[in-house]
Structure 1
Amino acid sequence: MGFGHFITQSDAVGKTLLAILVLMSVASWALIAIKGVTQVLRRRRSDQFLTFFWNARSLDEVDAEIRVHGATDPFGHLAAHAIHAQAHHARYGAAKLQEAGTSQEFVTRTIKKVLDEETTRLENGLTTLATIGSTAPFVGLFGTVWGVYHALLAIGMSGAGTLDKVAGPVGEALIMTGIGLAVAIPAVVAYNTIHRSNRVLNARLDAFAFELLTFLSTGSTLRPSSTLSVVPAATSTTTVAA
């Protein structure tokens, strides 16, 4: 008796359900690893860019840095597109329908578009985690029901209905429920953790977008506490010179 015996005694349906749960587990842990590493790198690069941005002497210096090293984080990506949008509108004006309106309106639309793109990028893979977390227990439960059904049929055909004859096959069938829970729990925990981290990053991006738009429009900053948290204490009062 045991898991190995359960596998050998399972029919095609039981083995298929087990294979589905294994694939779910592999996909879940692969997404957890990829999203975890990506979030660590994104957070580190974002902090580095924000520290550089608020200590830069001008937007030209920020633009030059982005052109040389590229935008490797959401804040750099947002700044690059906003600066380019303002320069493009100042040089060419409203040459196309998508550029209609004032420079501030064009920059605002560009920032909104970039924020939507970053939100979509952050949410990649979360649907899969949510699906695995919500369906894996039911897949395991279906496997248990199927296993118990066949175990009871075998017991009925043998004519031995004593407890020692029933407990083994039924207990083996319950393994599928345990596997389903083992697959679902890490997926649910990871989904909630990643989703919360994404909400925090989106809030910081919104605050930075407001700062950036204000600076591009008026040449001054308000710099709320959400952006000050990544600036070293020795330079926390430094402002960007126009």
Structure 2
Amino acid sequence: MNVSYLLATATDAPVNEFGFWKAMEEGGPVAWSILAVMVIMSVGSFYILFTKLFEQNKVMKQYKSVKNAFWRAPTLREGATKLEKNSAWRQLADDAVTAQDHHSKMDGAGDEIHFIEEELENSQEKINSVLSGGLSFLASVGATAPFIGLLGTVIGIYRALINIGIEGSASIDKVAGPVGEALIMTAIGLLVAVPAVLAFNWLQSRNRRIAALMKEFANDIVAYIGSNGEIKPALGPASAAKGAPKAAAKPATTAGGARPTPKA
């Protein structure tokens, strides 16, 4: 008897006619099209975020080898071979060596240091351009997603007004669907735009940090070439002492200077 009562109650339970999917169905092709655009923009934003984070982390990790391997080499050419191929730091080192070779073969090329500085600046611009690739998409999503959501909002309110005009009254069952659709589109627009803007600003700040490291590395190369290898960046006491022979331990002595007699 209890089972029959529960089944009857479940059968008579009202169906939610004002949920998300119901509102989207009432919105028709326009609502679904706007939702599809929002989903594509959101997926693209997160894809760019994670790929750029991986790329930036790789560049920052490779920078450690600059201190550990590059500056310990006797020449720039040999130091460049110790860096990872196709890395930003390898590109800067190779471009510096190439610029030095080209300048030696050119007549009237001017000051060598100035020539190398210009080549390194061009290299940094190319690398920064690669690191910034895709960030314009994040900026575009952050700027346009709220307005695309607003378009859905306007359409939803317009449909609500049409229903009121047809029915002659603003009953809740006639306006709830279109108004709910309008609010949903506004919320989706913000949910897509806010992460894109935050990701854009975060990736930009990390790119500026990498650009500063590349500028420092380029300046160190120029100083090294200008001083004929006399000037190198400080490697740090721990790195400099690495590999140095340890001093032999001195035998212990007493206060009087005599060695202690070993115990039997």
Alignment TM class, shorter chain as reference = 0.7 to 0.9
* Cα distance between partner residues in 2 of 1:101 and 1:80: 21
- 1:188 aligned onto 2:201: no
SS at match of 2:81: helix
For residues 77 and 215 of structure 2, the distance between their equivalents in structure 1, rounded to whole angstroms, comes to 22
- The C-alpha deviation readout for 1:28-47, integer Å capped at 9, x for no partner, is 11111211111111211222
Matched, 1:93 2:106: yes
Partner letter of residue 170 of structure 2?
G
Q: Which has the larger radius of gyration?
A: 2
TM-score for both structures, normalised by structure 2: 0.77
Do structure 1's residue 70 and structure 2's residue 85 form an aligned pair?
A: yes
Distance 2:123 2:34 in 1: 42
Q: Give the aligned partner of residue 178 of structure 1.
A: 187
Task: Report what 1:134 is aligned to.
Answer: 143
Kept in 2: contact 1:133–1:188 (CA 8 A) = yes
| Mapped pair 1:150 → 2:163 | no
Distance in 2 between the 1:237 and 1:205 partners? 26
| Alignment equivalent of 1:13, drawn from 30, 45, 55 | 30
Q: SS of 1:174's equivalent?
A: helix
Contact 2:27 2:181 in 1 (8 A): no
2-side partners of 1:166 and 1:71: how far apart? 60
Quote the RMSD (CA, aligned, Å). 2.3
Q: Does 1:200 align with 2:215?
A: no
| Greater helix share, structure number | 1
Question: Which residue number in structure 1 is paired with residue 170 of structure 2?
Answer: 161
Match of 2:254 in 1: none
What aligned pairs does 1:22-101 form with structure 2 within 5 A after superposition?
Answer: 22-66=39-83, 69-72=84-87, 74-90=88-104, 92-94=105-107, 100-101=109-110
Q: How many percent identity over aligned positions?
A: 36
Distance 1:112 1:178 in 2: 44
The whole-number CA distance in structure 2 between the counterparts of 1:237 and 1:71 is: 30
8 Å Cα contact 1:49/1:76 also seen in 2? no
Q: What does residue 124 of structure 1 align with?
A: 133
**Cα drift, residue 57 of structure 1:** 3.3
CA gap of 1:172–1:85, structure 2 versus 1, over 3 A, is: same
Counterpart Cα distance in 1 of 2:58 and 2:123: 20
CA shift, 1:233, in A, is 5.0
Quote the offset at 1:77 in angstroms.
1.2
Alpha carbons of structure 1 residues 54 and 158: separation in structure 2 relative to 1, 3 Å: same
Whether the aligned pair in 2 keeps the contact of 1:56 and 1:62 (CA below 8 Å) is yes
Measured after TM superposition, the shift of residue 237 of structure 1 is: 8.0
Q: Secondary structure in 2 aligned to 1:124?
A: coil
| Matched ranges for 1:223-238 at <5 A | 223=233, 233-235=237-239
Larger relative contact order (Cα-Cα within 8 Å, sequence gap ≥ 6) = 1
* Separation of aligned partners in 2, 1:44 and 1:64: 17
In structure 2, runs of 5+ residues without a counterpart are: 1-17, 243-264
- Tell me the number of residue pairs that the alignment of Structure 1 and Structure 2 aligns: 224
Moved more, 36-45 or 126-135: 36-45
Q: In structure 2, what is the Cα distance between the partners aligned to 1:236 and 1:130?
A: 45
Shift in Å, 1:87:
2.4
For residue 82 of structure 2, give the secondary structure of its aligned residue in structure 1: helix
Verify the 8 A CA contact 2:223 2:231 in the aligned structure 1.
Answer: yes
Q: Does 1:220 align with 2:224?
A: no
Partner residue in 2 for 1:209 = 218
Structure 1 residues 236 and 21: CA distance shift in structure 2, 3 A: farther
TM-score, normalised relative to structure 1: 0.83
Contact 1:55 1:235 in 2 (8 A): no
